[in-house]
Structure formats: structure tokens, C-alpha cells
């Protein structure tokens, strides 16, 4: 089935957690728990900027990718406190999360900045993980599907099919993030299928079937297997449970199905 056409990607989003000095112990504990994982998925950890060099060093030669959690849409210049895509790729960063709901909620990111950042990331070898998802209020109003459709359309505006095939889309219902409330596998599948259909309309069936769509929002060692068994859920973006090597390993192993 179409699942074979795309990669399963299990990405940890460490948010503003962990110290550089803690990463080697994390990788030493994780790696023996996921032997042979490259055969069924790509595993990634997305860390705070300042920790990236330590993470790149600790995961060197393990096959675990390293990503950032944000980047500037600008190439360079007078943007105090910002980090560019070129600076990230220069040190070897392979992935970058764009438009996480915490960035949208606390730092004023919009669908338009998400689009600009995605375009900037695609000028580099990095894989952008573009986040979309509804708030509880939007879900209760029954506008989840139309809202997520619009978020994907704007995020991908001006992006060709060839470029889009390098993107990962993460569906993260805001009400499920860090709350312990997970979307049911059926609800998560429904929205991921909506996203796949939008990709078909924007591009074509072949491109849509090649794009990895992750679910994120309280995915953990207990519920990962069922979520990842859904036909349009090709991986996870995991916050809390990615901070503990044993729990993260269970999720990576759950992708082996
Ligand atoms: P959570 O976070 O797994 O802690 O809910 C997911 C995310 O914010 O990416």
C-alpha cells in the first residue's frame, strides 16, 4: 500500500529542556534499546539551538538525526537573536520544526511566517517539519478540517511538488499538546487523511502519497502503536515522552509494524 512510498519518521521535540552535558548519557541509553531501527523508520531529536552541537556529536554515526525547533525566515542580517537556515546546516543540522503551536501562540508566528520559513528551509538540505493543528475552541466549533486545510495551503504556497516531497507535515491538535489528552486514533487519522487530500489537490496523488504526515500531541509509549497503525499517520512528533530514552525507544520500536 501507499505507506511503502513514504518514510516513517519519529521525531522528539525536546522544547526548552535538557543541558548539553546530558546528551551523551541520553544517546548511550537510547541506542541499545532501538537496535536495527533504521530498517523501519528515521529517528530524530530536535533540541534547543545551543545544544545542537552536543547532540550532533552524541548522535554521530548512530543514524539518529538532529533537528532544530525553529529558524529565521531571513537569510542573514540585522535580526538580533535569530538563527538562519544556513547557520543550522553549516553545523550539520538535518531537520527543523517550523510553526509549532507554541511558536504560533507565544511568539506571534502566522501561517505566512510558516510559509516564509518553509521556503527558506527548502533552500538548504534540511527537512522542514511543518506543524498544523486546531485549538479546542476550533474543534468544538467544527472547523478543524477547514482550518487545517487552510493552514496547509498557506504553508505550502509557492512551493513546487518536487520541493513539497521533501517536507514532513506534523498534525498537532493544540489541545492534545502537553495535556496528556491524545486524539483518538480515528480522529487523528481523519485529519491526517484531510491533509493527504489537500496535498493531492495542491499537487498530485503520487506527491501526496510520498509525503510523511506525523501525528503529535501526547503520543507516548502506551498509545503510539495504535496511532502509528493508522494508514495516514506516518510517524510522530513527540514532546514529553521523547525526554526519556526508555519511553522514546518504545515509540521508535512501535513504528516497526
Ligand atoms: P507532547 O508535545 O508530546 O508533550 O504533547 C508534542 C509537541 O508539542 O510536539
Cβ atoms of 235 and 257 within 8 Å: the answer is: no
Q: Which of 14, 237, 247, 251 to mutate to test the pocket of ligand 1 (most atoms within 8 A of CB)?
A: 237
Question: Where would I find the H helices in the chain?
Answer: 23-30, 52-58, 85-90, 101-107, 111-122, 136-140, 144-155, 161-164, 185-202, 205-210, 224-228, 245-254
CA of 204 to the centre of ligand 1 (A): 30
Active site residues: 100, 172
Q: Which helix (H) or strand (E) holds 66?
A: strand 65-68
Distances from the Cα of 83 to the Cα of 72, 73, 80, 104, angstroms: 6, 9, 9, 17
Give the number of the atom of ligand 1 that is nearest the alpha carbon of residue 217: 5
What is the pLDDT, as a whole number, of residue 2?
61
Cβ atoms of 91 and 56 within 8 Å: the answer is: yes
Q: For each of the chain's 257 residues, which pLDDT tens digit applies?
A: 466 789 999 999 999 999 999 999 999 999 999 999 999 999 999 999 999 999 999 999 999 999 999 999 999 999 999 999 999 999 999 999 999 999 999 999 999 999 999 999 999 999 999 999 999 999 999 999 999 999 999 999 999 999 999 999 999 999 999 898 888 999 999 999 999 999 999 999 999 999 999 999 999 999 999 999 999 999 999 999 999 999 999 999 999 98
Long-range residue pairs from 202-208, CB within 8 A, at least 24 positions apart, any chain:
202/152, 202/153, 202/156, 202/164, 203/161, 203/164, 204/161, 207/161, 207/164, 207/165
- How many whole angstroms separate alpha carbon 255 and alpha carbon 102? 26
DSSP tag of 3 = G
Spell out which residues line ligand 1, taking CB within 6 angstroms.
13, 172, 177-178, 216-219, 237-241
pTM of the entire predicted model: 0.97
- How many whole angstroms separate alpha carbon 3 and alpha carbon 5? 5
Amino acid at each position: 500500500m501507499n505507506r511503502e512510498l513514504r518514510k516513517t519518521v519519529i521525531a522528539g521535540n525536546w522544547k526548552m529542556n535538557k543541558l548539553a552535558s546530558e546528551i551523551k548519557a541520553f544517546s548511550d541509553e537510547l541506542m541499545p534499546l532501538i537496535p536495527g531501527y533504521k530498517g523501519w523508520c528515521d529517528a530524530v531529536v530536535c533540541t534547543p539551538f545551543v545544544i545542537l552541537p552536543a547532540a550532533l556529536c552524541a548522535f554521530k554515526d548512530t543514524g539518529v538525526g538532529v533537528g532544530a525547533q525553529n529558524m529565521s525566515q531571513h537569510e542573514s542580517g540585522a535580526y538580533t537573536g535569530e538563527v538562519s537556515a544556513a547557520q543550522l546546516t553549516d553545523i550539520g543540522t538535518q531537520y527543523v520544526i517550523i510553526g509549532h503551536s507554541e511558536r504560533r501562540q507565544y511568539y506571534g508566528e502566522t501561517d505566512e511566517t510558516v510559509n516564509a520559513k518553509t521556503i527558506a528551509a527548502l533552500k538548504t538540505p534540511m527537512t522542514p517539519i511543518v506543524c498544523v493543528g486546531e485549538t479546542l475552541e476550533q474543534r468544538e466549533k467544527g472547523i478543524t478540517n477547514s482550518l487545517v486545510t487552510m493552514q496547509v495551503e498557506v504553508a505550502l504556497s509557492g512551493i513546487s511538488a518536487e520541493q513539497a516531497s521533501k517536507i514532513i507535515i506534523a498534525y498537532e491538535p493544540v489541545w492534545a499538546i502537553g495535556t496528556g489528552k491524545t486524539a483518538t486514533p480515528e480522529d487523528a487519522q481523519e485529519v491526517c487523511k484531510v491533509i493527504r487530500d489537500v496535498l493531492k489537490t495542491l499537487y498530485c496523488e503520487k506527491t501526496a502519497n510520498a509525503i510523511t504526515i506525523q501525528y503529535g500531541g501526547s503520543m507516548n509509549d502506551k498509545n503510539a502503536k495504535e496511532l502509528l497503525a493508522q494508514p495516514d499517520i506516518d510517524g510522530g512528533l513527540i514532546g514529553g515522552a521523547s525526554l526519556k530514552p526508555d519511553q522514546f525507544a518504545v515509540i521508535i520500536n512501535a513504528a516497526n509494524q
